[in-house]
Structure 1
């Protein structure tokens, strides 16, 4: 079994220009390529206050938000991108009262974000190495409402009356019958797949108890804004996966 070592928490965020720095130890000076910040300044500066490095470079100090910490979680498996996570959450209408299940935890990116939105999150991961990585990320983000299971969801789901089940699996169609028994009527079954044949097989496997709402892909394109000169950036975050939304109707 892999050792379970908790990552050091992020204590402060430093921003200089378009660069961001993550401070984990307030008892030592923090060194960057723009000079070092004295530990006294790190401890005493108020959020939003400007502090200087020994070389005269300006830094702004902030307390870390959840998103700052989230971006530093350990990765193993490819994670679902935030553009997709946000769309999945909003389309399912998840909120502080929602109880959800995530299967194929991978690095835990999805279940950790769900935990900041929902009342309770169950997460299934069959691989022990991924299971241990997810556990580290949960501890790092200090999330107490995730129940992580080293379990094969193809063999069944323990929980009942779930509001939503989200799948990031090679064969999501193997979960449809289990989801039928575990979702509330009106609950959402959402599958995230990188390849369209997976989508086709998943949708074809749906029983009469499920309604296929839609399958989408989300693309993100940044723009350069320089006063009155604007243009789309050449590179964009294009296809990352297909998201299929279904709903239990009976």
Structure 2
């Protein structure tokens, strides 16, 4: 059985053969660490299930995103939970999509932002985590400086939002719903806006010419994981986090 090791930070992971496993907090529920000896999260769990189907043993180790991406670009491993961009596709071979999410905005109820939020947010401060990638058309607004990004953890940005230091928090919808479960009192004053036309796909990727075969094996294994099992994996992640309802529905 082949032995593979992932590096994980937030949504990110790098897979290298024969490395020791280190686990640190990540960005739940999509990926992260459960605080014991295993990496916890939807993407790592789905990756493990896919590799199990083709007889590949997976093991995870935490790295910051930029380093994990650099390791993959240099051909030293795979990076998981990554978003595909034209620039990255020049050097990386991408798998089939592992998981998808929609963009969510957390706003104050009194501001009455709804589907016109992207227009109303022009020139305003929006909290997000470093490394978060926006789909179009929001990414275009960010590049043009039409939205002022303020970086920090989701908890820090939640405090900023409640204190009116920012106008909204941009994040994945699953994470927004998880925050609501964690902070029910705060969310009595907040709204979650879902943009169903802003889907983000997450992939497994490795250096072109080196990991092409392994990516193909992963795709083959992922196709063999039944939809019912994928749903159970997602639900299990939430149950391990002490939640009873999966957000990805």
- Normalised-by-shorter TM-score class: under 0.3
Higher helix fraction: Structure 1 or Structure 2? 2
With normalisation by structure 2, the TM-score equals 0.26
Report which of the two structures shows the higher radius of gyration computed on alpha carbons.
Answer: 1
Larger RCO (CA within 8 A; separation ≥ 6): 2
